Amino acid sequence: MSGKSGHPDAGAMRRENLGREILGRAKCVVVKVGSAVLTSDKGLDTSVVGRLVDQIAALRDRGLEVVLVSSGAVAAGRMRIRQSLSDASKIDFAELPSRQAASSIGQSRLMHAYDEAFSRYGKTVAQILLTREDLKSRARFRNARNTLRRLLDWGVIPIVNENDTVAVAELKFGDNDTLASLMVDLVGADLFVNLTSADGVFDKNPDKHPDAACVPMIEDIESLDIEVMCDGKTSVGSGGMYSKLRAARRAAQLGVPTLIVSGKSQLALERIFAGEALGTLVLPCGRLVSHRKFWVAYHDDPVGTVSVDAGAAKALRENGKSLLPAGIRKVEGGFERGALVRIVDLEGRHVGVGLSNYSGAELARIQGLKSAELAEVLGSAPYPEAVHRDNLLLDAAL
């Protein structure tokens, strides 16, 4: 893009310079590739897998640590079943057992394709299948982190996927964009590359608006209304651009930039690491969160909702305070002590998420009360706060 004087546009120059700077200092990269990139109407496209492997192997040879989060197992298995069973047209792959069965077939085919392709470069791969439960426990989280760190130290390329065969809730509600954002935290990555079927992030849904334009850079993803921008999903994958931007926002909260790039573009990884400004660059947030708060907020689903008055919402948002029972006006959900709850204001706007010091029933009894009054109602009130600020993350990208 050029201005009237013929000089390169300042915004485009800044995007290009920032991209080169970020890529130049990257040491550990999480690369996520979606089903829409890896599969065709005939199933898993091994030629696409091969081209992706060519580029990742080159990155490893440059000294970069690479963790690959790969979708495609369900789609690969579904296509294989359709090829092998004469009555496959009768199978409802929207039904959970069928999707899980397809995943069990497709996962082995997916890993076989990766293993063969990487072996051409003398690279070893490791299969990592995870569920949310594996990262929900702090001890299991540490075990997963230690295993991945050892693999990377050995020069192995971990290939990560959700364990769709056994994970009921994750298969219905999760996606690999979310998993990839958690991997950024787990391995301490300093760059997240999301390879998708789109050319990047558009200012509105291009399927509904022909005049939609690709956004080259997002400088403040915290202020972006991604629900308005992203009102559709891809037909092959499970996430759509909404989940990709949500994952990018999570990475940004850790200080990690994200590149959302078309995985269908020829040699996309090679080109971006050569300095070409492809897709959309999402910059880190100005206000970063600790790894502990990140883990608290994102390794479980909120099981209740606490509505707070305007004063409490302001104290949380602007002053970094803990949530006190006095500011609570409504409690929803039958949760236990220590559960993750969503905090909203009286208009239903999201404030944050945090670990509740009291059960839902207890909070309902003490809502609106001052801290000195809690023991009179509950008999024992070990905590003056409903949610302590150390266990609370504001503006969580749920």
Q: Does residue 180 fall inside a structural domain?
A: yes
CATH code of the domain containing 364 = 2.30.130.10
CA 155 to chain centre: 25
* Tens-place pLDDT, residues 184-210: 999 999 999 999 998 999 887 787 888
Q: Does residue 3 fall inside a structural domain?
A: no
Nearest to 152 by CA among 60, 225, 14, 240: 60
Whether residue 322 sits in one domain with residue 265: no
CA 203 to chain centre: 20
Whether residue 286 sits in one domain with residue 259: yes
Provide CB contacts within 8 A for 139, sequence distance 6+: none
End of a domain among 232, 255, 290? 290
The confidence score (pLDDT) of residue 341 equals 96
Whether residue 164 sits in one domain with residue 40: yes
* Ranges of residues in the chain whose predicted pLDDT is under 70: 1-8, 93, 165-174, 231-239
Q: Does residue 211 fall inside a structural domain?
A: yes
CATH code of the domain containing 249 = 3.40.1160.10
The confidence score (pLDDT) of residue 238 equals 45
Q: Which sign does the torsion angle of CA 203, 204, 207, 213 carry?
A: negative
Whether residue 119 sits in one domain with residue 28: yes
End of a domain among 290, 318, 337? 290
The confidence score (pLDDT) of residue 267 equals 93
Per-residue three-class SS string for 194-222:
EEECCCCEECCCCCCCCCCCEECEECCHH
Whether residue 380 sits in one domain with residue 282: no
The confidence score (pLDDT) of residue 174 equals 63
Whether residue 190 sits in one domain with residue 318: no
What are 46's two structure tokens?
Answer: 């091994």
Whether residue 286 sits in one domain with residue 230: yes
Q: Does residue 5 fall inside a structural domain?
A: no
The confidence score (pLDDT) of residue 383 equals 94
Q: How many domains does the chain have?
A: 2
Helix axes 291-298, 240-253, angle to 10 degrees: 150
Q: Does residue 251 fall inside a structural domain?
A: yes
Q: Does residue 190 fall inside a structural domain?
A: yes
Boundaries of domain holding 268 = 10-290
Whether residue 168 sits in one domain with residue 214: yes
Per-residue three-class SS string for 81-117:
HHHHCCCHHHCCCCCHHHHHHHHHHHHHHHHHHHHHH
Q: Does residue 170 fall inside a structural domain?
A: yes
* Tens-place pLDDT, residues 127-154: 999 888 888 888 899 999 999 999 999 9
